[in-house]
Amino acid sequence: MKTNAWRVFAAGACAAVLALSGCGASDNNAATGSASGTTVKGGTLNVLLSSTEMDLDPAKSQGLPTTTNGNIFRRLTAWKITDKGETKVVPDLATDTGKSSDDGKTWTYTLKDGLKFSDGTPITSKDVKYGLERSFADSLTGGLSYHKTLLEGAQDYHGPFDGQELSSIETPNDETIIFHLNAPFGDWPWVASLAAFTPVPDGKGPASGYGKLPVASGPYKVESNEAGKQAVFVRNTYWDKKTDPVRTAGPDKIVFKMGQDTSVAAQSIMQGTGEGKNSFLSGFVPAAQLAQAQANPSYKKLLTTSGDGALEYLAINTQHVKNAKIRQALQYAVDKKAYQTASGGEIAGNFATTLITPGIEGREDYDLYKADPTGDVDKAKQLIKESGEQAPTLKLIATSAQAETASSIQTSLKRAGVKVDIQTLNDDVYSDTLTNDKGDYDLAISSWQPDFPSPYANISPLFDSSQIGNGNYNLARYANPKVDALIKKATETIDQTEAGKIWAEADKTIMADAPVVPLIYSKNTFIHGSNVTNFVIGNFPAYPDYTQVSLASAN
């Protein structure tokens, strides 16, 4: 699976993209943030971002259904945050989340009545099919690819621009769309919520340039999109709230202001100057402004911090560190408290023990290696002795942005007699080293947030043996036939309660082999203006839900 803007595999890479995105997740217990419970209609909401361009082509997007493009695009299904902060998959364009048949290999959807694009034309099943087929075009890369591995015949399909259709997507009439998969897949309703399932008027989405002013299906349409300046969303008069269970469409206009200095933007939001009170920063609060806001009660109330989310972990290359006792020793030798401190303190996240991240339905909380957060050096030394080997010398690769966290790992392992040599690489070399076929490292610090709230998106990309090398993210180079079988079984189990039990077994089976050391579940902190309300972060993902944000006053 490819990395994306909010599921970044390396902590160093995460640090590099904070202005645009995040690597954390959200509150374990309930939705957090400024929520009034009511939606005021009207006003102009500003979203401040550091990027200088917005390509809104859904075929190329890895965007969350709840962030930027969630207000202009609808899909077959959508995400809804409950009052308890839980993220559920719900019907969006479709009447339900999908009916499965053929033991989960076939999924059928029926569109709601009265759906229209922003140009007034009806949305049909053929538009959903065409939108999805566009994502296979060689000229439209970068989007999430789950459907490309699941649909029958997809490996030989290259999009609709040469007149070809994908026969595993059927549209027997304008209201019905049927997907034929190559294997049962219980999480298909979540996949159907991703950007590639956005309808595009049949035959009207060109192979290039569509992302500037795409045809909308949500409550807003794109009025203008000028690189380096701003993109303006205005109301789509053809959107019908009665068909949409998710989006509130509060502001009359949403303006995405590009090329912002995040420190200056955060300062204007805190002080409420100019348009600051009606704005929020799309990325994380810069360190200096975060410290300033935390020290000032008036500013602190403008902050919203997610709960425990993305897993930050130490990957152990199991093809190099083959002795399980040594890997288990590292579980006790690592000082998670020192790592947390190096990451920014308690606000960076709470200590991790499991592989499935908080906010994922069916997750079981457990700890196979119980110890104080500072570690258990004596236990680590005992396990090294039991291994029959000497304490090893290990190479930890890192980027310059990971200097402090890498140093914390080096220092803590030294206490158990394990020597760590840190090799600092530039970002491109670092990424290639982690994901290529060679695997020239022993240790690496990484971070992972799934693309949708399912254990599948947690476990399979990181621990399925098919995901080793070749650009994939099994960074521990971990291969266990039993785990592969559990992943397959859970993936093909349609009953999600039963699937959850299998995923929990897989989680514990993997941790018994100790291919990674869970470090923390990272948190993200955002800032919004004093007139911004319904700025809510649920259990998943680690971002405010843009489809809910409104203004307390339309003035």
**Is residue 185 a part of any domain in this protein?**
yes
288's CB contacts (< 8 A; 6+ apart) are: 263
DSSP letter, residue 68: G
**Same domain assignment for residues 326 and 303:** no
Find the Cα–Cα–Cα–Cα dihedral 334, 337, 339, 340, rounded to 10°.
Answer: 150
Pair of tokens at residue 478: 């971990």
Q: Which residue has the tokens 């307390």?
A: 552
SS3 2: coil
Pairing of strands 550-551, 532-533: antiparallel
Give the CATH number, domain containing residue 237. Answer: 3.40.190.10
Amino acid in the structure at residue 240: D
Local confidence band at 16 (pLDDT 50, 70, 90 cut-offs): very low
Give the CATH number, domain containing residue 423. Answer: 3.10.105.10
Q: At what angle do helices 377-387 and 324-333 cross, to 10 degrees?
A: 170
**Is residue 30 a part of any domain in this protein?**
no
**What does the DSSP assignment read for 462-530?**
HH-GGGSSTT---TT----HHHHHHHHHHHT--SHHHHHHHHHHHHHHHHHH-SEEEEEEE--EEEB-T
**Same domain assignment for residues 381 and 446:** yes
pLDDT in tens, 279-309: 999 999 998 999 999 999 999 999 999 988 8
**Is residue 28 a part of any domain in this protein?**
no
**Same domain assignment for residues 174 and 243:** no
pLDDT for residue 4: 34
- 23 vs 56, higher pLDDT: 56
- The upper half-sphere exposure of residue 339, i.e. CA atoms within 13 Å in the direction of its Cβ, equals 29
**Residue 202 confidence (pLDDT) above 80:** yes
**Residue 468 confidence (pLDDT) above 50:** yes
Mean pLDDT computed over 460-483: 96
**Same domain assignment for residues 268 and 206:** no
Pairing of strands 279-281, 44-48: parallel
**Same domain assignment for residues 362 and 410:** yes
**What does the DSSP assignment read for 72-106?**
T---SEEEEE-TTS-EEEEESSBSSS-EEEGGGTE
Mean pLDDT computed over 217-238: 98
Beta bridge mates, 222: 233
Pairing of strands 169-173, 349-351: unpaired
**Same domain assignment for residues 64 and 194:** yes
Mean pLDDT (the chain, rounded):
92
pLDDT for residue 539: 86
**Same domain assignment for residues 300 and 350:** no
- The upper half-sphere exposure of residue 492, i.e. CA atoms within 13 Å in the direction of its Cβ, equals 13
**Is residue 454 a part of any domain in this protein?**
yes
**Same domain assignment for residues 340 and 385:** yes
**Same domain assignment for residues 355 and 471:** yes
Nearest 5°: phi and psi at 253?
-145, 140
CA–CA distance, 22 with 25 (Å, rounded to integer): 8
Pair of tokens at residue 183: 């294997």
Find the Cα–Cα–Cα–Cα dihedral 262, 213, 68, 462, rounded to 10°.
Answer: -100
Question: Which of 507, 488, 500 lies closest to 454, judged by CA?
Answer: 500
**Is residue 5 a part of any domain in this protein?**
no
Local confidence band at 554 (pLDDT 50, 70, 90 cut-offs): confident
CA–CA distance, 286 with 293 (Å, rounded to integer): 10
Per the structure, the complete domain to which residue 324 belongs is given by 310-522
pLDDT for residue 27: 33
User: Rg of the chain over CA atoms, in angstroms?
Assistant: 23
261's CB contacts (< 8 A; 6+ apart) are: 50
Pair of tokens at residue 309: 């989310």
- The answer to whether the beta carbons of residues 166 and 133 sit under 8 Å apart is yes
User: pTM for this structure?
Assistant: 0.89
pLDDT in tens, 33-77: 767 778 999 999 999 999 999 999 999 998 889 999 999 999 999
Beta bridge mates, 312: 447, 520
Total domains present in the chain = 3
**Is residue 37 a part of any domain in this protein?**
no
**Residue 469 confidence (pLDDT) above 70:** yes
Question: Which of 493, 465, 543 lies closest to 68, judged by CA?
Answer: 543
**Residue 530 confidence (pLDDT) above 70:** yes
pLDDT for residue 9: 33
**Same domain assignment for residues 238 and 205:** no
**Residue 110 confidence (pLDDT) above 80:** yes
Q: Residue 184, Cβ neighbours under 10 Å: how many?
A: 18
pLDDT in tens, 308-361: 889 999 999 999 999 999 999 999 999 999 999 999 899 899 999 999 998 898
**Same domain assignment for residues 96 and 156:** yes
Q: Residue 516, Cβ neighbours under 10 Å: how many?
A: 28
Local confidence band at 83 (pLDDT 50, 70, 90 cut-offs): confident
Helices and strands, counts by H and E, the chain: 15, 23
**Is residue 17 a part of any domain in this protein?**
no
**Is residue 479 a part of any domain in this protein?**
yes
**Same domain assignment for residues 282 and 319:** no
